[in-house]
Amino acid sequence: MQNQVGIITIGQSPRRDLFPEITRFFNNHVAFIQRGVLDQCTVQTLASIKPLPNENTLVSKLNDGTQVKMAKTRILPIIQTLIDQFNHHDNVSLIILACTGYFKPFNSDLPIIYPDYLLNHVTKGLLRDTDHIGVIVPLIEQSDAIKEKWQLAGFNVTAVACSPYHYSEQQLVEATKQLDQTDISVIVLDCIGYTQIMKETVQRYTSKPVVLSRNVVFSNAAELL
């Protein structure tokens, strides 16, 4: 019997940068249904969710590779609609929100995996005696929100930026070197968009452990199926 998992991406589906990389964590009896916040987007939609200077910003991409910024508060109703669809119209046993940003719980009869909570607490379990970590995020304007999120798990954060969606390997190398010169204990790639190849790039330029968000989220999710 096949288990079906609902994946909600903050961008457009299907996420070709995410699949098939994460399927290695799951057995052959698991199938995925992907839906994206921006699947039905228009020029007007993109304009309506564009973040103002003081709004909490999330970032993802369209299927054509275009990086898109959005105000978190203005996509919450869309995420809830996608969760409702999985609850009432699809035979899924689990929903995974493919974003490491902080979200309050949504309404759902099905279990939902929230990557921010999972990533924070897995990292805390790995580094219980550490309070200072380095985090690479897509946008520098996300730094304050990221620091607040990690403080919930008892960490102080040094944050630097390199987008996985508007990607520059040189920028990632420079961000890594910047963190490597501090007294952090680990570097966390804090976005589902970062890939295994990006993690390996970071590892070449630091002696510190490197945590890749998508590995933590999907390897743990696979334990439920």
pLDDT digits (tens, 9 = 90+) for 54-66: 889 999 988 888 8
β-sheet bridge partners, residue 220: none
- Output the CATH code of domain 117-212: 3.40.50.1860
Note the pLDDT of residue 9. 95
The answer to whether 151 and 135 are in contact (CB under 8 A) is no
Paired tokens of 68: 């898109």
| Contact (CB, 8 A) for 122 and 214 | no
Quick one: how far is CA 49 from the chain centroid?
Answer: 19
How far apart (Å, rounded) are the C-alpha atoms in residues 9 and 141?
21
Q: Which pLDDT tens digit goes with each residue over 88-111?
A: 988 899 999 999 999 999 999 999
Could you check whether the bond before residue 111 is cis, i.e. omega within 30 degrees of 0? no
Q: Distance (Å, rounded) from C-alpha 222 to C-alpha 214?
A: 12
Rounded-to-integer distance, Cα 24 and Cα 19, Å: 10
Is the pLDDT at 26 greater than 90, yes or no? yes
3-class DSSP state of 161: strand
pLDDT exceeds 70 at position 1: no
The 10s digit of each residue's pLDDT in 109-136 is 999 999 999 999 999 999 988 889 999 9
Residue 50 DSSP code: P
**C-alpha of 133 from chain center:** 17
Six-digit token string for 154: 């008892």
| DSSP annotation string for 36-102 | ETTTT--HHHHHHTPPPTTS-EEEEE-TTS-EEEEEHHHHHHHHHHHHHHHHHHS--SEEEEE--S-
Tokens of 26: 């799951």
Is residue 187 scored above 80 in pLDDT?
yes
d(Cα 179, Cα 98) in Å, to the nearest integer?
Answer: 26
Cis check: omega of the bond before 77, within 30 degrees of 0? no
